[in-house]
Structure 1
Amino acid sequence: MTNKSAQIVSTLILDWRSEPELEYYLSFLDKTGKQFYDKMREAGLISWRVSRVFNKINAIKTSEVYIYSDQKAYVKGQLIIGKWRKDHETFYKHMTVKVEANRAMLLFEYI
């Protein structure tokens, strides 16, 4: 491994109560996601991916993967996320979703 700063990977698995709630969220991301990503990128976010989990029967799940340049970028990103949720409180208060969060240090990546 090289001596550079380690990238931080934050993964969220969101377990939705219903398809309409998931669609509501995806519609919100479609309208505001670029603005959110641009703010996060300024803080050091490298990549943000939102995916539909399809390997679970009768489950309505999405996965969000955030890759940050380093730990400092992760901390800044958490502050931005907190402010974003507060600024969009009227949207988020209508969501019922179970979130499983994991944070890791990137060891290898092959692209």
Structure 2
Amino acid sequence: MAKKHKNYPTEFKEYVSKLIVLDGRKQVDVCNELKIPYDTLHKWVSSYRKKQQDAEKAKQDQLLTASEYKELFEAERLKRLEIEEENAILKKAMHIFTQEKK
């Protein structure tokens, strides 16, 4: 008799792979819980890891031009200034609210 192969949805494969790669679960435990053959799960995880590595490599391959770098630097500087201003306001408010009323 030929074995009947079960087809799993792509979303399910990715979810299970994330359980192992990102959450640190053991493949054997996940196999037993979900009744998935170990070899099948191993292929899913390998494929997911390769996809992650390719995405990371593509991200690293993108180089910034000088103008893009300047824009990014300006955006970060403005964000930092806003945070510093918010912190100053919060410190003043904390000082006002913690003073004893006479």
Same fold (TM over 0.5): no
User: Which structure has more RCO (C-alpha within 8 Å, separation ≥ 6)?
Assistant: 1
Larger of the two Rg values belongs to structure: 2
Structure with more strand by fraction: 1
TM superposition score normalised by structure 2: 0.25
Structure with more helix by fraction: 2
TM superposition score normalised by structure 1: 0.24
